[in-house]
Amino acid sequence: MKKTIQKYQFPSGFWWGSAASGPQTEGAAHEDGRKQSIWDYWYSKQPNSFHNQVGPEHTSNFYYLFKEDIQLMKKTGHNSFRTSIQWSRLIPDGHGETNELAVRFYNEVIDELLANGIEPFINLYHFDMPMCMQAKGGWESIEVVDAYVRYAETCFRLFGDRVKYWFTFNEPIVPVEAGYLYNLHYPNIIDFKRGAQVAHNTIVAHSKAVEAYKKLKLDGKIGIILNLTPSYPRSEEERDVKAAHISDLFFNRSFLDPVTKGHYPKELIEILKEHDVIPAIQKGDLEVIHANSIDLLGVNYYQPRRVKAKEEKVMPETRFMPEHLYDPYIKPDRKINPHRGWEICEEVIYDIMIDIRDNYSNIPFFISENGMGVEGEEKFRNLEGYIEDNYRIEFVQEHLKWVHKGLEEGANCLGYHLWTFMDNWSWTNAYKNRYGLVEVEINQEFQRTIKKSGRWFKGLSENNGF
Ligand code: BGP
């Protein structure tokens, strides 16, 4: 048989797999001692905020089906898989007693992954504040920061003998933007200064968790997952370039710099001072941030951010928001994912890689999320009964071409994880946009069926390229 020549060969040991999270997949929301997170609480108060009123208890039942799911991971070529521990399951009161049933569950998941040759990547926080901790002020509260650090340390002690890749947070800017700036998630506050406090305290929590991990001298790596959404200016005109630089400071460098370089970007601090929105900084915060940079960075990339210089003056009495310093810009000839409405711009993934190579000491990183959401995906089911998602295969290929180019030019990228393994519940969008390599039917059985992309992904992983 003629051997097909692969054009895009990846380095040996490259991580192929996917990412998910506990709250989006486990289900069993009220079982075995788990208590409410902000999602359960918010849903109980305002079910209308969720697509088709589908709430967080309707997630894909991984709690009961994880053994079958891990077999599906094998069938779709996973050599690694990320999920998150739910704080509200492991320590239902936020601090104090550890839930033994949760310990058993997470132990079983980790052991089952390892027994099947899949490296577990464990994240500690995926937007899922326990409600009892939110009642204390959430990330605005130092008490909650301390409770999180103890929770993190509990996880390291319980599972750190087998888990070698740890992440403190997934996309920590999202709870800031969605919960404190743009009224998209609970607690639905619109207040930049409080948002800045949440961001700062999250970074302190992250740094203290890294410190706790290092103290335990376990044989593994610890990092954070950031959604890097580079800002591109409308034009090369100075005022547009400046606008893009400012939005980049707010939404990328605000987290990327402290976790890798140990300090905030100076220009960002100046802007915050100028607008009188500097958060309270406790004694020792800056030192702990400085002393605890990460070993490994996860990069989530979906789409770029496009901006232009501000067109209209903001009224002086208006409360500060980052958008007072730039305007969003829509590029007329952009490529769009028509099933989700997001821009698709593959080469941005390469720009991120080169930025990390040149401006962040080429630290080890991997693509920890990238993927294509599709609303109404059942219309792509073929006669054999599975979803024929050629668009997703093409989406991954086109991004991987740029990842490959970045690697050839020396970027230190260790793997590619797709969002996500199986269709899952996604916050207020619930099951609207499907992202999985595996379809999940939303019925009593949560029936799983591998999509065409899942079959293709296996070949990609086995051949270490395409
Ligand atoms: C990422 C989050 C995921 C997931 C994904 C898809 O930013 O880390 O948790 O939800 O976005 O989002 P959506 O379903 O809104 O398209």
pLDDT one-digit tens code per residue, 256-283: 999 999 999 999 999 999 999 999 999 9
Mutate to test the pocket of ligand 1, among 126, 419, 424, 435 (most ligand atoms within 8 A of CB): 419
pLDDT at 90 > cutoff 70: yes
d(CA 244, CA 238): 10
Residues with beta carbon inside 6 Å of ligand 1?
Answer: 21, 170-171, 227, 300, 369, 373, 419, 426-427, 429, 433
Measured in Å, residue 50 CA sits from the centre of ligand 1 at: 14
Q: Which residues on adjacent β-strands are paired with residue 19? A: 82, 419
Is 171 catalytic? The answer is yes
CA of 225, closest atom in ligand 1: 8
Residue of 375, 427, 431, 434 best suited for mutating to test ligand 1, as the one with most atoms within 8 Å of CB: 427
Asked whether residue 4 carries a pLDDT value surpassing 80, the answer given is no
Question: What atom of ligand 1 comes closest to residue 342's alpha carbon?
Answer: 16
In this predicted structure, the answer to whether residue 2 has a pLDDT above a threshold of 60 is no
**Ligand 1 centroid to residue 19 C-alpha, Å:** 11
Distance 434 CA to ligand 1 centre (A): 10
pLDDT of residue 315: 83
For 444, phi then psi, to 5°, come to -60, -40
Q: Write out pLDDT tens, residues 417-461.
A: 999 999 999 999 999 999 999 999 988 889 999 999 999 999 999
Ligand 1 pocket: which of 126, 229, 426, 435 to mutate (most atoms <8 Å of CB)? Answer: 426
Q: Is the C-alpha dihedral spanning 425, 427, 428, 433 positive or negative? A: negative
Q: How far apart are CA 309 and CA 230, in angstroms?
A: 16
Contacts of 155 by beta carbon, 8 Å cutoff, 6+ apart? 85, 90, 122, 124, 166
Question: Is the overall model pTM greater than 0.75, yes or no?
Answer: yes
In the set 171, 177, 346, 439, the catalytic residue is 171
CA 144–ligand 1 middle distance (angstroms): 25
Q: What's the whole-number mean pLDDT along residues 462-466?
A: 98
Task: State pLDDT tens for residues 377-410.
Answer: 999 999 999 999 999 999 999 999 999 999 999 9
- Determine the pLDDT at residue 1: 52
Task: Quote the pLDDT of residue 6.
Answer: 84
| Mean pLDDT over each residue of the chain, to the nearest integer | 97
| 369 counts as catalytic | yes
* Ligand 1 midpoint to CA 427 (Å): 8
pLDDT score at 443: 85
Percent of the chain with pLDDT over 70: 99
Nearest CA to ligand 1 atom 6: 426
Among residues 140, 369, 377, 439, which one is catalytic? 369
Question: What is the CA(20)–ligand 1 centre distance, in A?
Answer: 9
| Mean per-residue pLDDT, 77-89 | 99
Measuring from atom 13 of ligand 1, which residue has the nearest CA? 426
In this predicted structure, what is the pLDDT of residue 239? 98
Ligand 1 centroid–CA 418 distance in Å is: 11
- Mean pLDDT, rounded, for 1-30: 91
- Contact predicate 407/423, CB 8 Å: no
Which atom of ligand 1 approaches the CA of 340 most closely?
16
Confidence of residue 49 (pLDDT cuts 50, 70, 90): very high
> Whose Cα sits closest to atom 3 in ligand 1?
426
Residues 310-365: tens digit of each pLDDT: 999 888 788 999 999 999 999 999 999 999 999 999 999 999 999 999 999 999 99
Q: What is the pLDDT of residues 142-198, one digit of tens each?
A: 999 999 999 999 999 999 999 999 999 999 999 999 999 999 999 999 999 999 999
